[in-house]
Chain A
Amino acid sequence: MPDAPGERVISVLDLAALDPAALAPLVVHAEPWINFDVGLLVDRFWANTINGLAYGSVYALIALGYTLVYGVLQLINFAHSEIFVIGVFGVYLTFVALGFEPGAIPNLPLAAIILDLVLAGLVAMAVAGLAAIGLERVAYRPLRRRNAPRLAFLITAIGASFVIQQVIRIWRGSNPEGTIRLLPPSPVFSIFGAPVTNLQIVIILASIAMFVVTDRFVNGSRLGRGIRAVAQDPATATLMGVNRERVITITFLVGGVLAGVAALFYLMTIPQGAVYNGGFLLGIKAFTAAVLGGIGNLRGALLGGLILGVAENYGQSLFGGDWRDVVAFVLLVLVLMFRPTGILGESLARSRA
């Protein structure tokens, strides 16, 4: 702006004082802001699929936690992403306790590495599971006692999410923890030219195994029958002798344990992921995945997670890197427009009145 600035009071309606040339962007943007690169999409189809499935498995595991709690309580447990972060720190701090140094690559026999990973995973499952139960006790149970409206649960969940994040931030600082990676990925075989790494095989197989276990638990075991009963009709279930509080506790526990598993796989894929706010975006994506598949439906959560992981990668290749998240959300809106209860519909919960 040309006039002498000392005494200049900014008058925004003063058109003459503005020199558009001075304010014009200095940066020249030669590239278009959105691509339509079908060639890249075709070229990278298999690699995108495999990577998407592996990353989508993490979404799916977190989504299971959302879906279970939603099925039983009709509650969007917004703090679930923070349970996941607690799991991530559980894994990380176990690595530290085992004597691994950030930045270095350990040179250990495979058996020892696997043992360490399993140990870290168990710790994460325990920590995240306990944290989920603690969250339920401290934050949600008092509300249930008071017959609080549903929005109150949501706000409490948001408050709990803030608290957990901030406690971690104050404790561990706001920088990501230094990288500790026990198992660097290496290609094992390839499908149509797209390499599949050892990590991806482990993650996809283990996620499916975890899903099957959870599915058997909910649909086959006595406790699982309790969960389904409460999901279908809490009043009748209570009358029939189902201990509702216990069912809720177990639901949160299972969700937390699965988040712990997800945390291990996440940190194996993204070793830089141990940071206080690392769960936020992942949580939203996982919740999107749960809704995509049909919230309250276990199979829906798995399917939703995998689809979301793959679709994000396709979209990224097609439209360009910064459209990844847009693709995820647009996909969600489109699916719900045509299938208002998600791809597989609700099953753990009853159809809504």
Chain B
Amino acid sequence: MIRRRLAAAGALVAAVALVLSGCANQEGGQQQGGGPQAGAPAQPTDAVLPAGNGQGRCAPGTSIGYAGTIAGQNAALGIAIVNAAQLAVDQHNQANPNCQVTLVRADTGGTPDTATGPVTALINNPQVLGIVGLPFSGESRAVGPALNAAGIVNITPSATNPGLTQNGWTNFFRGLGNDAVQGPAIARYIQQRLNAQKVCVIKDDSDYGIGLAGTVTQALGPAASCQVDVKTNQREFSAVIGQVQQQAPQAIFYSGYYQEAAPLIQQLRDAGVQTTFIGPDGVKDEQYVVNAAGSADGTLLSCPCVPQEGFTDFTNAYRQAFGVPPQTYSAESYDATTILLRGLDQGIADRAGLLNHVRNYNGQGLTKRFQWGPTGELTNTPVWMYRVQGNTIVTDTQI
């Protein structure tokens, strides 16, 4: 543990130096980052980074909170998010001697029942001005009313259930496209680019998987000819594969996460099913490629995130700090934290001010352009299609 921290600290210095040299003025560039050419991803050269201009000023003790799982069964996702937030805060503090921000971690355990206590503690901590989290839609729903009542700004880096922005919460902002954006885009791609008229939609039992499968199925209409369900943590799919084989679809869309997608694609390919396999952002993870071994080759992966080729600084810094490459939603968390830090640098010292800052924010991040509509959805959420080629995920096209 201690050794890792030391390594992280050392790496951080290097990372910050890199970042500082690499960015001149982030705040200014307002050029429209959209409209990239297919296959040539827009490099967010104008991305706002946590370090800022180094002139940040804020009261000592100013904090932002991370609420989400840190230990427990689904901790991997939470750790990827909290690490990225920590990285952003550390880079910021290194560059801004007059604004030292603390990241307060609240371990929600990832479930609604255990989330209320830690989140209430964050709410009752007057120094916490904004919150990054919560990673899961279920816990977000559970504590959303309380966060809203407290008027504390809340940017989620990963909860994609469309219903979350339908509650009238004015403090809730989604740092990525929701499933209602991604679903129709995927359906369009499947029908128009792949020309598939018979699609199997396989979904897991998570809020995310069910929600996304719903939007895709709806958009596909009659083409979604078969529906198959799997369970979280399922590893053996022979019966599922039987169902797919019987239907002989022209494309398979898997709505869920990589932990199940990797064994599923491997067993599908082993069983001789060579149908095009499409997965969403929950599958788009290096772990998917590694865990599916060769079987993932040719898989199409959609994601409401811009290609990461331009993130080498971030990727390197993260890898140096934590010993592993950034994972799903790390970059989103980094961006969300950065947005909050920008506000604090301007001397905002109360929750209402920070909420207002986020509401009116307009700037390029690593992952996309951040500007929110009245409900807390991003105004511009590009959906990109990626492809697994050999052992790497490459950019295919914007869809």
Residues of A at the B interface (CB closer than 8 Å) are: 1-3, 5-6, 8-10, 22-23, 25-31, 40, 43-44, 47-48, 51-52, 55, 102-105, 173-176, 178-179, 181, 184-185, 195, 197, 269-273, 277-278, 281, 312-313, 316-317, 320-322, 324-325
Question: Which 8 residue pairs are nearest across A and B when measured between Cβ atoms?
Answer: A27-B214, A316-B239, A51-B238, A322-B229, A1-B168, A178-B290, A44-B242, A321-B229
Residues of chain A with a CB closer than 8 A to B5's CB? none
B228 within 8 A of A: yes
Q: Does B294 contact A (CB under 8 A)?
A: yes
| Given A44-B246, A321-B239: A174 touches B231 (CB 8 Å cut-off) | no
Interface residues of B in 3-34 (CB under 8 A from A): none
Contact B293 A271 (CB under 8 A): yes
Q: Are A179 and B262 in contact (CB under 8 A)?
A: yes
Q: In the complex the two chains form, is A174's CB within 8 Å of B293's CB?
A: no
**Contact, CB under 8 Å: A181 / B293:** yes
Q: How large is the interface on B (under 10, 10 to 19, 20 to 34, 35 or more residues)?
A: 35 or more
Q: Are A179 and B266 in contact (CB under 8 A)?
A: yes
Q: List 30 A-B contacts (CB under 8 A).
A: A1-B167, A2-B168, A3-B168, A5-B168, A6-B151, A10-B149, A22-B168, A23-B163, A23-B167, A26-B211, A27-B214, A29-B214, A48-B242, A51-B239, A102-B290, A103-B293, A105-B294, A178-B291, A179-B293, A197-B270, A270-B263, A271-B266, A271-B291, A271-B293, A317-B243, A321-B228, A321-B229, A321-B240, A322-B205, A324-B231
In the complex the two chains form, what is the Cα distance from A269 to B215 in whole Å?
33
Q: A103's contact among B162, B215, B391, by CB below 8 Å, is which?
A: B391
Q: What distance in Å separates the Cβ of B200 from its nearest Cβ neighbour in chain A? A: 12
- Give Cα A26 to B161, complex, Å: 10
Alpha-carbon distance A2/B170, docked complex (angstroms): 11
Contact of B235 among A44, A51, A181, A272 (CB under 8 A): A272
- Decide if the interface of chain A is mainly helix, strand, loop or mixed: loop
Say how far A281's CB is from chain B's closest CB, in angstroms.
6
Q: Which residues of A contact B262 (CB under 8 A)?
A: 176, 179, 272
The answer, yes or no, to whether B381 is at the interface (CB within 8 Å) is no
Chain B residue with minimal CB distance to A50?
B238
In the complex the two chains form, what is the Cα distance from A273 to B262 in whole Å? Answer: 11
Cβ–Cβ < 8 Å partners of B180 in chain A: 26
Interchain CA distance A10-B146 in the complex, whole Å: 8
Residue of A nearest to B178 (CB): A26
B76 interface residue per 8 A CB criterion = yes
Q: A174-B76, A178-B290 are in contact. Are A23 and B242 (CB under 8 A)?
A: no
With the chains together, A41 CA to B378 CA distance in Å? 46
Chain B residues in 8 Å Cβ range of A174: 75-76, 79
Interface string of B55-91 (1 = CB under 8 A from A): 0000000000000000001011001000000000000
A103-B290, A179-B290, A322-B229 are known contacts. Are A27 and B242 too (CB-CB below 8 A)? Answer: no
User: Which residue on A lies nearest to B294, using beta carbons?
Assistant: A105
CB <8 Å contact, B145 and A324: no
CA distance A47 to B237 in the complex (A): 12
Interface residues of B in 236-289 (CB under 8 A from A): 236, 238-240, 242-243, 246, 259, 262-263, 266, 270-271, 287, 289
- A residues within 8 A CB of B292? 179, 272
Chain A proximity mask over B191-207: 1 for CB below 8 Å, otherwise 0: 00000000000000100
In the bound complex, CA of A333 to CA of B217 (Å): 36
Q: A9-B149, A105-B294, A178-B287 are in contact. List 18 more A-B contacts (CB 8 A).
A: A5-B168, A5-B170, A23-B167, A27-B211, A28-B217, A40-B242, A48-B238, A105-B293, A173-B324, A174-B79, A176-B287, A178-B290, A272-B262, A313-B238, A317-B239, A321-B228, A321-B240, A321-B243
The answer for the CA separation of A173 and B77 in the assembled complex, in Å, is: 12
Residue of chain B at shortest CB distance from A54: B238
Residues of A near B151 (CB, < 8 A) are: 6
> Once bound together, how far apart are the Cα atoms of A22 and B243, in whole Å?
36
Q: Is B360 an interface residue (CB 8 A)?
A: no
Partner of B210, one of A27, A178, A278: A27
Report chain A residues within 8 Å CB of B231.
321-322, 324-325
Closest to B210 in A: A27
Q: Which residues of B contact A178 (CB under 8 A)?
A: 287, 290-291
B316 CB within 8 Å of chain A: no
How far is B162's CA from A25's CA once the two chains are assembled, in angstroms? Answer: 9
Between B228, B229, B236, B243, the greatest number of chain A beta carbons within 10 A of the residue's beta carbon is seen for: B236
| Chain B 168-186: CB-based contact to A (< 8 A → 1; otherwise 0) | 1111000000001000000
Return chain B residues, CB-CB under 8 Å to A176.
259, 262, 287, 291
Please judge, given known A-B contacts A103-B290, A176-B291, A321-B229, whether A273 and B235 are in contact too, CB under 8 Å: yes
Q: Is the beta-carbon distance between A8 and B149 smaller than 8 angstroms? A: yes
Known pairs A40-B242, A48-B239; A272 contacts B218 (CB<8 A) = no
* Alpha-carbon distance between A5 and B210 when the two chains are bound, in angstroms: 29
Residues of A within 8 A of B171 (CB): 5
Residues of A within 8 A of B162 (CB): 26
Q: Does B37 contact A (CB under 8 A)?
A: no
Contacts of B289 in A (CB 8 A): 103
**Is A22 a contact partner of B293 (Cβ separation < 8 A)?**
no
Residue of A nearest to B236 (CB): A55
CA distance A40 to B242 in the complex (A): 8
Q: Are the CB atoms of B166 and A23 closer together than 8 Å? A: yes
> Are B238 and A47 in touch, CB under 8 angstroms?
yes
- Cβ-closest chain B residue relative to A165: B73
Closest CB in chain B relative to A115 CB, distance in Å = 21
B233 is an interface residue with CB less than 8 A from chain A: yes
